[in-house]
Structure 1
Amino acid sequence: MKPNSDLQKNIWISFFSLFTSMSTLVCCALPALLVSIGLGATMVGLVSAFPGLIWLSENKLLVFSSSFVMLAISSYMQYRARFLPCPIDPNEARACTSARQWSKRITIFSIVVWAIGATFALLPMIL
Protein backbone atom coordinates (compact mmCIF):
# COMPACT_ATOMS: atom_id res chain seq x y z
CA MET A 1 0.00 0.00 0.00
CA LYS A 2 1.37 3.43 -0.90
CA PRO A 3 2.16 5.88 1.93
CA ASN A 4 -0.20 8.48 0.39
CA SER A 5 -3.16 6.11 0.59
CA ASP A 6 -2.31 5.38 4.26
CA LEU A 7 -2.21 9.11 4.93
CA GLN A 8 -5.53 9.70 3.15
CA LYS A 9 -7.14 6.88 5.15
CA ASN A 10 -5.71 8.42 8.32
CA ILE A 11 -7.23 11.81 7.49
CA TRP A 12 -10.67 10.27 6.91
CA ILE A 13 -10.48 8.38 10.19
CA SER A 14 -9.52 11.63 11.95
CA PHE A 15 -12.48 13.47 10.45
CA PHE A 16 -14.82 10.61 11.42
CA SER A 17 -13.47 10.64 14.97
CA LEU A 18 -14.12 14.39 15.08
CA PHE A 19 -17.70 13.77 13.92
CA THR A 20 -18.33 11.11 16.56
CA SER A 21 -16.77 13.15 19.33
CA MET A 22 -18.89 16.17 18.32
CA SER A 23 -22.00 13.99 18.58
CA THR A 24 -21.05 13.22 22.18
CA LEU A 25 -20.74 16.92 22.86
CA VAL A 26 -24.12 17.68 21.26
CA CYS A 27 -25.93 14.82 23.00
CA CYS A 28 -24.71 15.39 26.49
CA ALA A 29 -22.54 18.45 27.16
CA LEU A 30 -24.66 21.00 25.31
CA PRO A 31 -27.94 20.10 27.06
CA ALA A 32 -26.23 20.12 30.47
CA LEU A 33 -24.65 23.48 29.75
CA LEU A 34 -27.87 25.07 28.50
CA VAL A 35 -29.91 23.85 31.45
CA SER A 36 -27.24 24.78 34.00
CA ILE A 37 -27.09 28.40 32.79
CA GLY A 38 -30.88 28.74 32.81
CA LEU A 39 -31.63 28.21 29.15
CA GLY A 40 -33.99 25.25 29.55
CA ALA A 41 -36.48 26.75 27.08
CA THR A 42 -33.70 26.92 24.48
CA MET A 43 -33.01 23.24 25.11
CA VAL A 44 -36.69 22.40 24.61
CA GLY A 45 -36.64 24.31 21.33
CA LEU A 46 -33.51 22.47 20.24
CA VAL A 47 -35.07 19.09 21.00
CA SER A 48 -38.21 20.12 19.11
CA ALA A 49 -36.15 21.10 16.07
CA PHE A 50 -33.83 18.07 16.24
CA PRO A 51 -35.67 15.07 17.73
CA GLY A 52 -32.62 12.88 17.13
CA LEU A 53 -31.01 14.49 20.17
CA ILE A 54 -33.31 12.47 22.39
CA TRP A 55 -32.08 9.20 20.87
CA LEU A 56 -28.46 10.31 21.36
CA SER A 57 -29.14 11.17 24.99
CA GLU A 58 -30.93 7.89 25.67
CA ASN A 59 -28.09 5.87 24.14
CA LYS A 60 -25.15 7.85 25.48
CA LEU A 61 -23.14 4.77 26.45
CA LEU A 62 -23.35 3.49 22.87
CA VAL A 63 -22.46 6.93 21.51
CA PHE A 64 -19.50 7.36 23.86
CA SER A 65 -18.17 3.85 23.38
CA SER A 66 -18.32 4.06 19.58
CA SER A 67 -16.69 7.48 19.59
CA PHE A 68 -14.00 6.19 21.97
CA VAL A 69 -13.26 3.33 19.58
CA MET A 70 -12.98 5.78 16.67
CA LEU A 71 -10.67 8.04 18.67
CA ALA A 72 -8.51 5.08 19.62
CA ILE A 73 -8.25 3.99 15.97
CA SER A 74 -7.46 7.54 14.91
CA SER A 75 -4.78 7.90 17.58
CA TYR A 76 -3.24 4.58 16.57
CA MET A 77 -3.21 5.64 12.91
CA GLN A 78 -1.55 8.91 13.90
CA TYR A 79 1.07 7.01 15.86
CA ARG A 80 1.68 4.59 13.02
CA ALA A 81 1.89 7.27 10.32
CA ARG A 82 4.21 9.67 12.10
CA PHE A 83 7.35 8.38 10.37
CA LEU A 84 5.90 7.36 6.99
CA PRO A 85 7.89 8.88 4.15
CA CYS A 86 6.44 11.77 2.18
CA PRO A 87 6.91 12.05 -1.60
CA ILE A 88 10.14 13.50 -2.99
CA ASP A 89 8.38 16.17 -5.05
CA PRO A 90 8.53 19.42 -3.01
CA ASN A 91 4.86 20.33 -3.59
CA GLU A 92 3.64 16.88 -2.66
CA ALA A 93 5.99 16.82 0.34
CA ARG A 94 4.52 20.12 1.62
CA ALA A 95 0.99 18.79 1.09
CA CYS A 96 1.89 15.57 2.91
CA THR A 97 3.40 17.44 5.86
CA SER A 98 0.46 19.81 6.04
CA ALA A 99 -2.03 16.95 5.91
CA ARG A 100 -0.21 15.19 8.75
CA GLN A 101 -0.24 18.31 10.90
CA TRP A 102 -3.95 18.91 10.28
CA SER A 103 -4.77 15.28 10.94
CA LYS A 104 -2.92 15.43 14.26
CA ARG A 105 -4.68 18.67 15.23
CA ILE A 106 -8.08 17.22 14.38
CA THR A 107 -7.38 14.11 16.45
CA ILE A 108 -6.25 16.15 19.46
CA PHE A 109 -9.27 18.44 19.14
CA SER A 110 -11.52 15.36 18.96
CA ILE A 111 -10.02 13.95 22.13
CA VAL A 112 -10.56 17.24 23.96
CA VAL A 113 -14.17 17.44 22.78
CA TRP A 114 -14.76 13.82 23.79
CA ALA A 115 -13.31 14.45 27.24
CA ILE A 116 -15.60 17.46 27.74
CA GLY A 117 -18.63 15.45 26.67
CA ALA A 118 -17.65 12.50 28.86
CA THR A 119 -17.25 14.79 31.85
CA PHE A 120 -20.74 16.21 31.46
CA ALA A 121 -22.48 12.94 30.56
CA LEU A 122 -20.75 10.12 32.38
CA LEU A 123 -19.52 11.78 35.56
CA PRO A 124 -23.06 12.33 36.94
CA MET A 125 -23.82 8.64 36.26
CA ILE A 126 -20.80 7.62 38.36
CA LEU A 127 -21.45 9.98 41.26
Structure 2
Amino acid sequence: MDGQIEQKRSAATSWLALFAGTSTLLCCALPAMLVTLGAGASLATLVSVFPQIVWLSEHSAWVFCIGAVMLLLGGAAQWQQRHAPCPLDPGLRQACMAQRRRSVRIYGVSVLLFAVGSWFAFIQPWWSGG
Protein backbone atom coordinates (compact mmCIF):
# COMPACT_ATOMS: atom_id res chain seq x y z
CA MET A 1 0.00 0.00 0.00
CA ASP A 2 2.95 2.30 -0.67
CA GLY A 3 3.67 3.06 2.96
CA GLN A 4 0.24 4.51 3.79
CA ILE A 5 -0.21 2.30 6.86
CA GLU A 6 3.25 3.21 8.12
CA GLN A 7 2.54 6.92 7.55
CA LYS A 8 -0.72 6.67 9.51
CA ARG A 9 1.05 4.84 12.33
CA SER A 10 3.77 7.49 12.40
CA ALA A 11 1.19 10.29 12.52
CA ALA A 12 -0.73 8.54 15.29
CA THR A 13 2.37 8.13 17.44
CA SER A 14 3.24 11.78 16.87
CA TRP A 15 -0.19 12.85 18.12
CA LEU A 16 0.11 10.54 21.14
CA ALA A 17 3.53 12.02 21.88
CA LEU A 18 2.02 15.51 21.66
CA PHE A 19 -0.66 14.46 24.15
CA ALA A 20 2.04 13.14 26.49
CA GLY A 21 4.08 16.32 26.20
CA THR A 22 1.01 18.46 26.85
CA SER A 23 0.08 16.47 29.95
CA THR A 24 3.54 17.06 31.41
CA LEU A 25 3.17 20.74 30.63
CA LEU A 26 -0.21 20.89 32.38
CA CYS A 27 0.95 18.97 35.42
CA CYS A 28 4.00 21.02 36.20
CA ALA A 29 4.93 23.88 33.90
CA LEU A 30 1.60 25.70 33.84
CA PRO A 31 1.13 25.83 37.64
CA ALA A 32 4.76 26.85 38.18
CA MET A 33 4.50 29.56 35.54
CA LEU A 34 1.29 30.97 37.04
CA VAL A 35 2.79 31.09 40.53
CA THR A 36 6.00 32.65 39.19
CA LEU A 37 4.01 35.37 37.45
CA GLY A 38 2.08 36.08 40.65
CA ALA A 39 -1.13 34.62 39.31
CA GLY A 40 -1.84 32.31 42.24
CA ALA A 41 -5.53 33.25 42.18
CA SER A 42 -5.69 32.22 38.54
CA LEU A 43 -4.10 28.91 39.45
CA ALA A 44 -6.66 28.41 42.23
CA THR A 45 -9.47 29.10 39.77
CA LEU A 46 -7.94 26.75 37.22
CA VAL A 47 -7.62 23.97 39.81
CA SER A 48 -11.22 24.49 40.98
CA VAL A 49 -12.44 24.17 37.38
CA PHE A 50 -10.08 21.32 36.45
CA PRO A 51 -9.29 19.39 39.66
CA GLN A 52 -7.53 16.70 37.58
CA ILE A 53 -4.51 19.00 37.45
CA VAL A 54 -3.91 18.24 41.13
CA TRP A 55 -3.99 14.51 40.41
CA LEU A 56 -1.52 14.98 37.55
CA SER A 57 0.80 16.96 39.83
CA GLU A 58 0.59 14.35 42.59
CA HIS A 59 1.50 11.62 40.13
CA SER A 60 4.01 13.59 38.09
CA ALA A 61 6.61 10.81 38.13
CA TRP A 62 4.15 8.44 36.42
CA VAL A 63 3.03 11.14 34.02
CA PHE A 64 6.63 11.78 33.00
CA CYS A 65 7.49 8.09 32.72
CA ILE A 66 4.49 7.42 30.48
CA GLY A 67 5.25 10.58 28.51
CA ALA A 68 8.88 9.55 28.02
CA VAL A 69 7.85 6.10 26.79
CA MET A 70 5.36 7.64 24.36
CA LEU A 71 7.98 10.08 23.12
CA LEU A 72 10.48 7.27 22.63
CA LEU A 73 7.92 5.25 20.69
CA GLY A 74 7.04 8.29 18.60
CA GLY A 75 10.71 8.99 17.92
CA ALA A 76 11.31 5.38 16.95
CA ALA A 77 8.35 5.52 14.55
CA GLN A 78 9.66 8.77 13.05
CA TRP A 79 13.11 7.26 12.61
CA GLN A 80 11.77 4.05 11.11
CA GLN A 81 9.55 5.91 8.62
CA ARG A 82 12.07 8.52 7.54
CA HIS A 83 12.70 6.71 4.23
CA ALA A 84 9.37 4.92 3.82
CA PRO A 85 8.06 4.93 0.27
CA CYS A 86 5.37 7.37 -0.79
CA PRO A 87 2.86 6.76 -3.61
CA LEU A 88 4.05 7.31 -7.18
CA ASP A 89 1.13 9.59 -8.03
CA PRO A 90 2.47 13.19 -7.81
CA GLY A 91 -0.49 14.51 -5.80
CA LEU A 92 -0.44 11.63 -3.34
CA ARG A 93 3.34 11.80 -3.10
CA GLN A 94 3.17 15.50 -2.24
CA ALA A 95 0.51 14.81 0.40
CA CYS A 96 2.63 11.98 1.81
CA MET A 97 5.71 14.18 2.08
CA ALA A 98 3.69 17.01 3.65
CA GLN A 99 2.28 14.57 6.21
CA ARG A 100 5.78 13.33 6.97
CA ARG A 101 7.04 16.89 7.59
CA ARG A 102 3.97 17.70 9.70
CA SER A 103 4.51 14.59 11.76
CA VAL A 104 8.13 15.52 12.44
CA ARG A 105 7.09 19.04 13.49
CA ILE A 106 4.43 17.67 15.85
CA TYR A 107 7.00 15.35 17.36
CA GLY A 108 9.42 18.26 17.84
CA VAL A 109 6.75 20.30 19.62
CA SER A 110 6.03 17.28 21.82
CA VAL A 111 9.68 16.96 22.82
CA LEU A 112 9.83 20.70 23.56
CA LEU A 113 6.71 20.52 25.77
CA PHE A 114 8.16 17.51 27.58
CA ALA A 115 11.43 19.37 28.17
CA VAL A 116 9.66 22.44 29.55
CA GLY A 117 7.54 20.27 31.84
CA SER A 118 10.62 18.35 32.98
CA TRP A 119 12.40 21.59 33.79
CA PHE A 120 9.60 22.83 36.03
CA ALA A 121 8.88 19.44 37.60
CA PHE A 122 12.36 18.21 38.39
CA ILE A 123 15.30 20.41 37.42
CA GLN A 124 14.15 23.85 38.59
CA PRO A 125 13.07 22.66 42.08
CA TRP A 126 16.36 20.79 42.47
CA TRP A 127 18.29 23.83 41.23
CA SER A 128 16.46 26.08 43.70
CA GLY A 129 17.24 23.71 46.56
CA GLY A 130 13.62 22.88 47.24
* TM-score, normalisation: structure 1: 0.96
- Partner residue, 1:66: 66
Q: Distance in 2 between matches of 1:125 and 1:64?
A: 16
- Partner residue, 1:76: 76
* TM-score, normalisation: structure 2: 0.94
What code does the residue aligned with 2:28 have? C
- Superposition RMSD on alpha carbons, in Å? 1.3
- Partner residue, 1:29: 29
- Verify the 8 A CA contact 2:2 2:85 in the aligned structure 1: no
- Verify the 8 A CA contact 2:78 2:104 in the aligned structure 1: yes
Structure 2: which 5+ residue stretches go unaligned? none
- Partner residue, 1:111: 111
- C-alpha deviation, 1:55, in angstroms: 0.4
Q: Distance in 2 between matches of 1:119 and 1:7?
A: 32
Q: Distance in 1 between matches of 2:103 and 2:126?
A: 32
- Partner residue, 2:39: 39
Number of residue pairs aligned between Structure 1 and Structure 2: 127
Structure 1 vs Structure 2: percent identity of aligned residues? 40
- C-alpha deviation, 1:22, in angstroms: 0.3
- Partner residue, 1:120: 120
Q: Distance in 2 between matches of 1:70 and 1:95?
A: 25
Structure 1 runs of 4+ aligned residues shifted over 3 Å read: none
- C-alpha deviation, 1:13, in angstroms: 0.7
SS at match of 2:86: coil
**Alpha-carbon spacing, 1:125–1:63, altered in 2? closer, same or farther (3 Å):** farther
